[in-house]
């Protein structure tokens, strides 16, 4: 049996377990996107077959990860959302309507590049099941799907994550701790030449700045080996790895959730800061890396009911120039996005187990013990942390 | 048997057959997008069942229309392209990478809103068949699919246009005359309260301005009855139609092809002019209408081979400030886009046969004879034209 | 003395005075942007010299037009606003911050292309006078200036509209009727080969759709003679004018104000519809025409005070999917923008007096009597209207 | 006499002089934007007065810095260019036309926020002097000006940098070493709580990747003290500085020049990577920081002559998917932008002398010796480097 991070997970430390406290803001209780009240995460792993690639048949190293902004009906109870496309070498579905209306009306799904259509088909099926009037008495629905390429480990032509897997991921969605690493959409992903995948983290603002939480979940599949930086230490160079000559062909999807009441314009500003978190881990923004961040607010005070009873909506919005002209709240939210993105990426690396996929291709996990040694030598870890 | 425009078509006049010469520039030989050398159009109509809606089972009034920029391998021999989203209340797939790289690497497919994923899946399958190395030795592929909602006539939840239909449409792609109206993706569409669907038109620049051709193909599914304007005459109001109280929930997809050597930035400028053609037919840009224009160039001198042998490409580009500082060529191309968009929309209306769909819902064809009378009375048609 | 529309104006009819009722919605009491409560318009005309151009010295045929969203302090009491750049061959100042924050913090000024900096300097001076703490205890200020080129009549190199003229225009700002045609920023402008300049119009939604008003003010300097269309009638072609061979080098600035409570995203949607109004007058979107629309809301319920006392703001927003799922209000606002833009452009043409400028260049006014004859013959005017 | 970095400069080390080799790519000969052949930089410092602020009269701590893409006539011999607005809380002039046409037609000028109009007026005057037909026989001109706020040291209301200073800066433009720190537009700027201003750096690609050079010049005026990171070391925290409670109100302008033949779409991709360089120095993207990057190519093979003799232009463009499908060249250019931006920012800090401005406000220079100690302790500097 091939181990996955879900089984092997408990033995692997998260970044913070090593004693490394990245950034200046404190994380939430779980240090996960699910620290934002109401957010659910569900994952379905597709992992079968071994040996030589048989295009369309396997081996499969792929999956689906879904993020629900709230446990209710996403189609009827829409939340404000906005995306920032840092590098559009990607195949997301759903950005167009998100830009126009500033609303999310399905769960966010992440998957393998060529599986985007089939997973989107699953989101449509789910929306119809919850709302049988879609396309009859109700408008159609705009699914949102993001992707990275797991082609190096996975029979990507097989599109093994589809409607069924999406529905199972949604059914499995729950609050609480989030499985990280080689799980769900992350099974076949690589980052910085090591095994990548799903990672998450969170940050909480002080009470006098609203006490709001920023949660980030990433699908990390980007970066070249020599580039990896952890807390400023050039870990990639210091590991005895030869710098891979291959261009950066991966991608990263960054999902940002918050309970701060923010409108779509403000959420786009949050999303635009996420690449700064990527930069902290060493990325220079590769040509072949489709990098997209999407941010949404779960605050009830900013939701758009499908068919309101009045001509106008009453909305709440964080004041960007706050009391006394200060911009502390929005600046705090920006910093939280950068810090949580950085830590979510590193959690994906720390928690991912090695995976062997098609044609015997193997992506090794980050050698966490050696990384800890390096960080210790660089004076970044308290000795007691081990 | 339910008549479609393909069978009934020959009897229905196109706009220009009535004697109405819209705009100032001359059309190409076919007055179709296929006047641009190399462009192929293929359509697959999905039409079965009758009577009450059985969600997921029918009746089906839908289909797929594909536009190929050239008869070769779209994935290996990419053409510059760019889109303009006039109103993003739509569910296109593929815009993100188009914006980033400025290249089209599959046929353009148009279909029913909820069928976008399944049709995209078909484009992926087609690309893999032509290029078995996709996702193995070659990068993944970015399919482009546009949509309008045929929910009023069609069992849209059934997503009856899918992979199989997309492949059949691509197989059927050909140069020459293009079937219009209730055909392909147009089967279930409505425009200005009448039957809409597929329409096409073209314009040719004078030889001293390069002699290039602009071809437009639309999937017309927008506009309210009272709004319809033809050559400046308020035909919608003059028909004895009560102005429909329903909001504009349709959409329009506008595909622009040209043999002029244009780069993606220039093609975006062309696409941005297409809504001016919509405006000529009476639209005020409805909230619920997802309106997207995509433009591409077929000129060999602007193509991007997948893996060039040199570090740089040699490209050609229409000079926007031309000889003597004049901007005549680009202005001519802009005018051609506006005129051809207007005429393509009206051709969709003129050529569409009435269709009865789910629950007995019937969308009547434009009463062309009465429209001709109205235009004649307004002095827009020569008497001899009839 | 050279006559201006301010003196000669009363004798020139506006479009609606001829009996032509453009569009479907009723105008406000003044049929002007000032129908929106609180909006003020001020204009300063700069008109001196005659004969041959003496670069830098004259003759001057230029000016400034300012639009104030409310009579208060724009810097402290900011209104939501957004712009749409239809064709960016222009030199606006202030779009960047408008996009980021969605707020307007100075009056909107319109002027001659090369005068943008000096007029912006004037807006800065005005903001400092009202708020002496700017750049000391308060942040800096973002002036918004739009422009068209009056180079054919005016000594544009002289930049004769500047700080002083801007301050005078702001001082002169008032509610009530707005002078149109060859006045303020419109003195030296041309449209469709005739004298253009300032024009305005408004539309009012029915009470059951909120009863809100859309007001539009344009600086019209675009279009070639043969293109002009009025209410669908090709007036440009029917006048005995030879179609000018010159490319379209003009521009249009479109200012949209409303008392509907709209957020910046919604205002951008309004602005994006304005080019449809241009299309109704015959434009095909010329390369050399810098076409920008800016929309703002005067509703008190959407204003952003400079330094709020709380961490969040309470805002109101028109529900885009309204009661019962209908989108009637936003669709009504869109239609109002298109109709008012069309009529404002035509008012600029109808009300502009002929102007002779540098080197004896003369731009003739639209021959309104002959235009009325043409519209009458086309059956668009009731005989009694004359 | 108040010392400026021009006089005191020789004594202050640049980052690389300390032995710190940031990034992986080698710098050019000067490690400056002027390593790109043809690029000229000119600066004019405005520095007079002392003591209490007398609004409009002084003290002045401001200036202008100009970057010329080539020594010729920018208006007639236009270079491709594109900008990325990372945070639009800024007041740039000229972005609109840059986006539409993808061309730069004046020098790039950087200055104090409220001086943007007056400096733009200077660029117009300069363009007219070189091209007396502007606005008469030639089209108008689009000046490009970027800004940061020097309000804490400078009498910003006085707008002391204007037409005269811009013309002097252009006259002074030269190839060769570039003065850094408290010079030109940088005189009154602060970064990370220390004195900031002008900084520059460059990177050169290997010959087999084209051998092209990326040069960056920044006007650095952003970041809070505690945030400063140098080569991954949290220098800001390690200095005994209390973390300033003030929000980030500064900005950064990033100018990127290259001799690689790139089109505007590609240049926008370069500009979008610049914020990753900011992130390396510790920024989290402050709300009040207007952050804009502009990139241009000096390659003769991509220039747009004003009035070409043919209908089309022949252009050259770096192949983004290069020989064998590799993306090494564009990835190299991206990495070069990130590295050169990081180093240019740090050079601004290292080279800036302390400045006392209005009301006795003093911004201290970075204590370079202590920073070197910190970097040495962190093992980032060879002992021999001192």
- For residue A324, the model assigns a pLDDT of 58
Per-residue model confidence as pLDDT tens digits over A103-157: 999 999 999 999 999 999 999 999 999 999 999 999 999 999 999 999 999 999 9
Residues of B195-205 as b/e, b for ≥16 C-beta within 10 angstroms? bbbbbbbbbbb
Token pair for D25: 């790519």
Chain D residues touching chain A at CB-CB below 8 Å: 24, 86-87, 226, 229, 231-234, 247-248, 269, 272-273, 275-280, 283-288, 320, 326-328, 330-331, 334-335, 337-339, 378-379
- For residue C247, the model assigns a pLDDT of 59
Rounded Cα distance between D201 and D340, Å, is 5
Among A35, A259, A264, A291, the one annotated catalytic: A291
Determine whether A301 is an active site residue.
no
Average the pLDDT over A347-359 and give the result.
Answer: 98
CB-CB under 8 Å, A327 with D287: yes
Confidence check: pLDDT of A385 > 90: no
- Beta-carbon contacts of A113 under 8 Å, excluding residues fewer than 6 positions away, are A90, A91, A147, A148, A149, A150, A151, A156, B135, B140
Q: Please report the DSSP string for D297-366 in residue order.
A: E--GGG-EESS-SSSEEEEEEE-SS-GGG--HHHHHHHHHHHHHHHHHHHHHHHHPPPEE-GGG-EEPPP
Per the prediction, chain A carries an average pLDDT of 93
Average the pLDDT over D304-333 and give the result.
Answer: 85
Average the pLDDT over A63-70 and give the result.
Answer: 98
Confidence check: pLDDT of B5 > 70: no
Per the prediction, chain C carries an average pLDDT of 93
CB-CB under 8 Å, B141 with A55: no
- For residue A178, the model assigns a pLDDT of 98
3-state secondary structure of B330: helix
3-state secondary structure of A223: coil
CB-CB under 8 Å, A97 with B121: no
Among C166, C251, C283, C297, the one annotated catalytic: C251
Per-residue model confidence as pLDDT tens digits over D143-155: 999 999 999 999 9
Q: In this predicted complex, what is the ipTM?
A: 0.95
- For residue D9, the model assigns a pLDDT of 44
Rounded Cα distance between D384 and C79, Å, is 59
Higher pLDDT, C303 or C247: C303
Per-residue model confidence as pLDDT tens digits over B264-292: 999 999 999 999 999 999 999 999 999 99
Residue B302 and residue B262 in contact, taking contact as beta carbons nearer than 8 Å:
yes
Q: Which of B1-5, C260-264, D156-160 has the least mean pLDDT?
A: B1-5
- For residue B7, the model assigns a pLDDT of 43
Identify the band that residue C11 occupies on the pLDDT scale cut at 50, 70 and 90.
Answer: confident
Percent of chain C topping pLDDT 90: 87
- For residue C241, the model assigns a pLDDT of 59
CB-CB under 8 Å, C90 with D97: yes
Confidence check: pLDDT of A238 > 90: yes
Confidence check: pLDDT of D213 > 50: yes
Rounded Cα distance between C62 and C66, Å, is 14
Per-residue model confidence as pLDDT tens digits over B9-44: 447 899 999 999 999 999 999 999 999 999 999 999
- For residue B149, the model assigns a pLDDT of 97
Helix or strand holding residue C336 (H, E):
helix C328-351
Residue A66 and residue A42 in contact, taking contact as beta carbons nearer than 8 Å:
yes
Determine whether C5 is an active site residue.
no
Identify the band that residue D326 occupies on the pLDDT scale cut at 50, 70 and 90.
Answer: low
- For residue B225, the model assigns a pLDDT of 87
Confidence check: pLDDT of D159 > 60: yes
Identify the band that residue B241 occupies on the pLDDT scale cut at 50, 70 and 90.
Answer: low
Average the pLDDT over D119-143 and give the result.
Answer: 97
Per the prediction, chain D carries an average pLDDT of 93
Residue D1 CB coordination number (10 Å) = 5
Token pair for B71: 């008869």
Confidence check: pLDDT of C42 > 50: yes
Q: Which of C241-250, D69-78, D370-379 has the least mean pLDDT?
A: C241-250
Residues of B135-171 as b/e, b for ≥16 C-beta within 10 angstroms? bbebbbbbbbbbbbbbbbbbbbbbbbbbbebbbbbbe
CB-CB under 8 Å, D329 with B306: no
Confidence check: pLDDT of D6 > 60: no
Residues of D361-378 as b/e, b for ≥16 C-beta within 10 angstroms? bebebbebeebbebbbeb
Per-residue model confidence as pLDDT tens digits over D71-96: 999 999 999 999 999 999 999 999 99
Average the pLDDT over A194-217 and give the result.
Answer: 97
- For residue D22, the model assigns a pLDDT of 96
Burial class of B130 by CB neighbour count within 10 A (0 to 12, 13 to 18, 19+) = middle
Confidence check: pLDDT of B55 > 80: yes
Rounded Cα distance between A345 and A341, Å, is 6
Confidence check: pLDDT of C3 > 50: no
Predicted TM-score (pTM) of this structure: 0.96
Angle (deg, nearest 10), helices B264-280 and B328-351:
50
Q: Of A85, A89, A140, which is closest to B101 when you measure between CB atoms?
A: A89
Residue B230 and residue B23 in contact, taking contact as beta carbons nearer than 8 Å:
no
Residues of A in contact with B106 (CB under 8 A): none
By CA distance, what is D102's nearest residue in B?
B265
Top residue of D272, D311, D314, D317 to mutate, by most chain B CBs within 10 Å, is D311
Q: Which residue from D257, D86, D231, D286 is spatially nearest to D178, judged by alpha carbons?
A: D257
Per the prediction, chain B carries an average pLDDT of 93
Burial class of C192 by CB neighbour count within 10 A (0 to 12, 13 to 18, 19+) = buried
Rounded Cα distance between D106 and D123, Å, is 7
B169 CA to chain C: closest CA distance, Å?
33
Per-residue model confidence as pLDDT tens digits over C310-328: 899 999 999 998 665 567 8
**Cα C20–Cα C340–Cα B280 angle in degrees, nearest 5:** 80
Rounded Cα distance between B294 and B146, Å, is 9
3-state secondary structure of D189: coil
Chain A residues touching chain D at CB-CB below 8 Å: 24, 86-87, 226, 229, 231-234, 247-249, 269, 272-273, 275-280, 283-288, 320, 326-328, 330-331, 334-335, 337-339, 378-379
Q: Which of B208-212, C254-258, D308-312 has the least mean pLDDT?
A: D308-312
Q: Which residue from A261, A313, A98 is spatially nearest to C261, judged by alpha carbons?
A: A313
């Amino acid at each position: 049996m091939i181990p996955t991070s879900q089984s092997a997970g408990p033995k692997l430390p998260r970044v913070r377990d090593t004693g490394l406290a990245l950034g200046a803001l404190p994380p939430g209780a779980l240090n996960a996107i699910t620290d934002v009240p109401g957010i659910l995460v569900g994952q379905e792993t597709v992992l079968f077959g071994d040996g030589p690639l048989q295009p369309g048949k396997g081996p499969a190293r792929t999956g689906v990860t879904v993020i629900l902004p709230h446990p209710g009906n996403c189609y009827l109870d829409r939340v404000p959302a906005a995306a920032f496309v840092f590098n559009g070498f990607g195949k997301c579905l759903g950005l167009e309507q998100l830009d126009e209306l500033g609303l999310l009306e399905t769960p966010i799904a992440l998957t393998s590049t060529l599986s985007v259509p089939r997973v989107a088909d699953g989101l449509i099926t789910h929306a119809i099941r919850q709302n049988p009037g879609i396309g009859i008495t109700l408008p159609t629905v705009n699914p949102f799907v993001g992707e990275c390429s797991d082609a190096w480990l996975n029979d990507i032509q097989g599109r093994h994550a589809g409607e069924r897997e999406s529905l199972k991921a949604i059914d499995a969605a729950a609050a609480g701790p989030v499985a990280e690493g080689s799980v769900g959409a992350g099974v076949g992903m690589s980052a910085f030449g090591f095994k990548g995948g799903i990672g998450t983290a969170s940050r909480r603002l002080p009470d006098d700045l609203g006490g709001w939480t920023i949660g980030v979940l990433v699908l990390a599949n980007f970066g070249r080996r020599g580039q990896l930086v952890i807390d400023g230490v050039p870990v990639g160079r210091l590991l005895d790895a030869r710098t891979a000559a291959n261009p950066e062909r991966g991608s990263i999807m960054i999902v940002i959730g918050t309970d701060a009441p923010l409108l779509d314009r403000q959420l786009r500003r949050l999303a635009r800061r996420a690449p700064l978190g990527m930069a902290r881990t060493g990325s220079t923004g590769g040509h072949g890396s489709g990098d997209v961040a999407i941010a949404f607010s779960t605050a009830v005070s900013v939701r758009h009911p499908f068919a309101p009873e009045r001509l106008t909506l009453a909305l709440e919005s964080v004041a960007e120039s706050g009391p006394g002209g200060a911009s502390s709240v929005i600046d705090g939210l920006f910093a939280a996005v950068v810090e949580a993105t950085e830590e979510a990426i590193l959690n994906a690396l720390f928690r991912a187990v090695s995976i062997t996929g098609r044609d015997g291709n193997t992506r090794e996990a980050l050698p966490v013990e050696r990384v800890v040694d390096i960080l210790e030598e660089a004076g970044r870890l308290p000795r007691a942390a081990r």
